[in-house]
């Protein structure tokens, strides 16, 4: 029978924050594409459709008991890994990268849903293998392999931004479940030692992005152009902004990828510091809400699952905004709910649905 407590515990605050961010995204996206070509303007209407698709999957995500992910986690993981392999074999080339699979009239970017797959498979593992002393290096081998498989497949596309996201999500979940002190120290030392070695495995354009981050003026008309124009747009918004559809950097098409990676620059130019802070406050409330869902859950699977989802949203916001402000290298990470992109939007909608799922059913394990 249907449990009335599911309705009584429905998380309206999560839904409300999602709706607010979605409205902000649609308004900003409309402004970002208005000054562009007719093809670019069509992206707005495509995004409207993706919002409806995302809403559908959000609803699906909280209708069943989230503990089903414990049973089906390995299947979801294998399916997503298969899609990543499929990208390398059958993927569509776009701007030198092979990241999409085409299915008739639409395409998907498998590296987005694989974030959910990694969160679920690591949750499944950690909920069964955590202990009060913390995980040792030997106990971290399986989680490491489960993370590195999608990491290298995504790097191969290449999509360094999403690959980094996978590592940050996995790292956040691992730190949350606790690592044995000596093992944690070994990991930190290993990461520090490996940083110089990573440089030799980067592609030339990736090295150029890092060098541009350190000195944007070294190539102002080339690799430094994006970040320079982005900082001009953000700074010109000042306190209250230039007003809706009045952003000159956007209108004159100085901003690159203004509807995807650099959409925060459009928002900051038109709405200024006031609008930017308001959006960040909503994101902060969403992240706090996600952590609260994890805290109130009384069993490990739901807690770790909620932490993983919250970590995903947190890192995407931090990296995207840090990237467009010149505080981080440009790595191509979208801003949740705001940037254009169907796969990214549907993925984050599913994650919100899962958070609502855990929140609604917390009474069942108390």
Percent of the chain's residues with pLDDT above 70:
91
What does the pLDDT look like over 217-241, one tens digit per residue?
666 666 677 788 888 888 888 898 8
Give SS3 for 335.
coil
Position of tokens 């981080």? Answer: 328
Residues in the chain, overall count:
366
What does the pLDDT look like over 261-307, one tens digit per residue?
889 999 999 999 999 999 999 999 999 999 999 999 989 999 999 99
pLDDT value at residue 283? 97
What does the pLDDT look like over 61-76, one tens digit per residue?
988 899 999 999 999 9
Helices in 35-180 by DSSP H: which ranges? 38-63, 68-90, 113-129, 141-155, 160-177
What does the pLDDT look like over 15-48, one tens digit per residue?
999 999 999 999 999 988 886 566 677 888 899 9
User: Do 152 and 176 meet the contact criterion of CB atoms below 8 Å apart?
Assistant: no
pLDDT value at residue 304? 96
Global pTM value: 0.92
Closest to 18 in 3D by CA, of 327, 356, 329: 356
Is residue 326 very low, low, confident or very high in pLDDT (cuts 50, 70, 90)? confident
Residue 64 dihedral angles phi and psi, to the nearest 5°? -100, 165
């Amino acid at each position: 029978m249907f449990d009335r407590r599911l309705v009584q515990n429905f998380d309206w605050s999560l839904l409300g924050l999602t709706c607010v961010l979605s409205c902000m995204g649609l308004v900003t996206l409309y402004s970002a594409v208005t000054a562009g070509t007719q093809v670019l303007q069509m992206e707005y209407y495509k995004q409207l459709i993706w919002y409806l698709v995302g809403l559908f999957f959000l609803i699906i995500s909280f209708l069943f008991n989230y503990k089903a992910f414990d049973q089906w986690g390995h299947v979801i993981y294998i399916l997503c890994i298969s899609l990543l392999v499929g990208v390398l074999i059958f993927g569509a080339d776009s701007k030198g990268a092979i990241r999409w699979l085409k299915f008739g009239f639409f395409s998907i970017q498998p590296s987005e849903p694989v974030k959910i797959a990694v969160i679920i498979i690591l949750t499944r593992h950690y909920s069964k293998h955590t202990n009060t002393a913390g995980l040792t290096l030997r106990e971290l081998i399986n989680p490491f392999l489960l993370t590195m498989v999608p990491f290298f497949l995504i790097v191969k596309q290449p999509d360094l931004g999403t690959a980094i996201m996978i590592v940050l999500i996995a790292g956040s979940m691992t730190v949350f479940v606790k690592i044995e002190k000596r093992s944690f120290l070994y990991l930190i030392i290993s990461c520090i030692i490996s940083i110089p070695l990573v440089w030799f495995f980067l592609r030339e354009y990736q090295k150029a992005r890092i060098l541009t981050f350190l000195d944007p003026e070294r190539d102002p008309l080339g690799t430094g152009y994006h970040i320079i124009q982005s900082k001009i747009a953000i700074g010109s918004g000042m306190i209250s902004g230039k007003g809706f559809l009045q952003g000159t950097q956007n209108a004159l098409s100085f901003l690159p990828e203004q509807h995807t990676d650099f959409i925060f620059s459009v928002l900051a130019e038109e709405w200024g510091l006031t609008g930017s802070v308001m959006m960040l406050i909503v994101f902060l409330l969403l992240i706090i809400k996600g952590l609260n869902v994890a805290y109130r859950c009384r069993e490990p699977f739901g807690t770790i699952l909620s932490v993983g989802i919250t970590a995903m949203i947190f890192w995407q916001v931090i990296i995207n905004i840090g990237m467009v402000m010149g505080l981080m290298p440009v790595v191509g990470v979208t801003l949740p709910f705001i940037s254009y992109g169907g796969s990214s939007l549907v993925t984050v909608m599913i994650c919100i649905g899962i958070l609502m799922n855990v929140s609604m059913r917390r009474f069942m394990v108390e």
